């Protein structure tokens, strides 16, 4: 990265002010809906391969500083010019004091372009409602936001890439209802009955009763449906916490907690499960890699325990549960 020469910088700045650098102003007007901007700095960015981009630092009439990057790429058909900006991210970062339940996270890429997003972790309905309220008060459509609100007790939190998130470009009342529903579903999948008590009991029961991933166990010829346990539709299996609760109800001898427990398998070996290492289960020192980290499929659970466990959809589809 290097600054342009003083003479060239002065020429460019003068051109920008006078409209000579019309493409930058046109981009701001047409793509960003900014009829007036002032260029305050121009920086030449040359990478290790000799490719050069130009970053324009701009100032809006409202005093917001942001950047526009001009990238000229040579191809078989000649040169193509691309533009990108960080206006929305700069707008979000400038309003970070608005948030309390949520936090604004800011980063810069290697070209000095800003990225910002909202992030928050919740473990109760009240905490999630507070985040939703902040977003509703903030989102007026003028600034696009990515809001990542993560249920901290979800299985994915234990993994390096926490994908259990809800993100929107804009946030509306409908989104708030949707994320609240997802929270209820996640609480059911993670066997968090303390959280489910914060929701309407009839609503929870109706959701589980209609869910094709509800758990059945007991006698295969007359299986009993668990009224409050479901599998994870995205991860195709039962969370470790759900497995723990299910086996406990079935009278299995367990040692530990829902996050880390062990039990005797069908071969007499001790099977160990731990959220510290959710991608595997261990047996006598040997590791078995799970298809979906943090979750045990019912077929795996049947093999491990020698007991009958299934999700409702397996019965509905008439699968051979002994040889699947």
pLDDT digits (tens, 9 = 90+) for 64-81: 999 999 998 877 777 788
In this predicted structure, the answer to whether residue 41 has a pLDDT above a threshold of 90 is yes
Name which of 51-65, 103-117, 285-299 the model is least confident about: 285-299
Helix, strand, coil percentages for the chain (3-state, nearest 5): 35, 30, 35
User: 169: pLDDT confidence band, cut at 50, 70 and 90?
Assistant: low
The b-or-e profile of 212-241 (16+ CB within 10 A means b, else e) is: ebbbbbeeeeebeebeebbbbeebebbbbb
Greater model confidence, 9 or 153: 153
Q: Where are the domains of the chain?
A: 2-85, 91-196, 212-316
């Amino acid at each position: 990265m290097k600054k342009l020469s003083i003479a060239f910088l002065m020429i460019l700045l003068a051109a920008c002010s006078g409209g000579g650098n019309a493409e930058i102003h046109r981009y701001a007007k047409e793509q960003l809906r900014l009829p007036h901007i002032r260029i305050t700095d121009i920086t030449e960015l040359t990478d290790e391969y000799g490719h050069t981009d130009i970053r324009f630092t701009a100032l809006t009439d409202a005093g917001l500083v942001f950047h526009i990057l001009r990238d000229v790429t040579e191809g078989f058909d000649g040169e193509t010019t691309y533009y990108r900006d960080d206006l929305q991210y700069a707008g979000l970062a400038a309003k970070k004091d608005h948030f309390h339940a949520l936090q604004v996270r800011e980063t810069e890429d290697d070209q000095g372009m800003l990225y910002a997003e909202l992030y928050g972790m919740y473990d109760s309905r009240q905490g999630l409602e507070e985040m939703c309220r902040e977003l509703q008060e903030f989102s007026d459509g003028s600034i696009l936001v990515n809001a990542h609100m993560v249920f901290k007790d979800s299985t994915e939190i234990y993994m390096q890439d926490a994908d259990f998130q809800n993100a929107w470009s804009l946030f509306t009342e409908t989104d708030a209802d949707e994320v609240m529903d997802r929270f209820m579903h996640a609480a059911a999948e993670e066997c968090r009955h303390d959280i489910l008590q914060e929701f309407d009991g009839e609503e929870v029961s109706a959701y589980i009763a209609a869910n094709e991933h509800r758990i059945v166990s007991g006698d295969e010829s007359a299986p009993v449906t668990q009224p409050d346990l479901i599998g994870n539709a995205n991860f195709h299996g039962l969370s470790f916490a759900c497995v723990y609760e299910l086996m406990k109800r079935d009278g299995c001898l367990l040692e530990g907690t829902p996050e880390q427990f062990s039990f005797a398998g069908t071969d007499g070996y001790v099977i160990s499960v731990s959220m510290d290492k959710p991608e595997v289960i261990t047996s006598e020192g040997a590791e078995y890699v799970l298809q979906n980290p943090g979750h045990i499929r019912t077929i795996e659970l049947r093999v491990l325990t020698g007991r009958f466990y299934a999700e409702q959809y397996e019965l509905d589809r008439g699968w051979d549960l002994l040889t699947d």
